[in-house]
Structure 1
Amino acid sequence: MTQRRLAALAKLSITVVVAAATLAGCADYGRRHHSGRYSPPSQPWVAGPSSPPAPLPPPPRPKL
């Protein structure tokens, strides 16, 4: 693998992880802070940052 390809792959995976974490965090935050009392999240993986999110389908790869 070339360095450029590795960098692109790393950037992509970071983006996916950040997006997943942001979505999960927003859902959890909204539920916890705007409903008065805490209701448990519907997805078990939202609750703990240590457990990985559900695997996402791979996004379409840009042609290099």
Structure 2
Amino acid sequence: MTTRTKPASDALLLEIARKHFPNIETLETRNSDGLDFHDVAVWAIRAALEAAYTAGFAAATKR
């Protein structure tokens, strides 16, 4: 099941994705295997997940 995030979070996720996956232009589904599926190194996935975790932690402690 997919859960939609707030638009501000969408922008942050796109920023993280573009930084760690330069060949990914958008996080929107384009209904094309060539555009929606990518070969990605595990270290790039780890770095992106760490960046997302850090951003989430920062947002949670900001309250």
Could you say which TM-score interval applies, normalised by the shorter chain? 0.3 to 0.5
> What's the TM-score once normalised by structure 2's chain length?
0.37
Larger Rg: 1
